[in-house]
Homo-oligomer: A and B are copies of this chain.
Amino acid sequence: MATEKKIDYVILGLLSHEDLTGYEIKKRMDTTLKYFWGASYGSIYPALGDLVERGLATKRDGAENGRNKLIYSITEEGRSCLKAWLALPVEKDELRYETLLKLFFGKDGGEEQAIDHINAFQEKVKMEMSCLLEAEKTLKSVLDMDETHKYYLLTVEFGIKTYEAYLAWCKEAKEMLGPSK
Residues on A facing B (Cβ under 8 Å): 6, 9-10, 13, 16, 33, 35-38, 79, 82-83, 85-87, 89-109, 113-114, 117, 120-121, 124, 147-148, 150-155, 157-158, 161-162, 164-166, 168-169, 172-173, 176-177
Contact = CB atoms under 8 A, between A and B. Distances in A.
B93 A151 contact: no
Given A155-B103, A157-B172, A13 B108 contact: yes
Q: Which 7 A-B pairs have the closest CB atoms?
A: A86-B109, A165-B165, A13-B105, A36-B100, A106-B151, A93-B97, A161-B165
Given A148-B107, A154-B176, A169-B157, A101 B162 contact: no
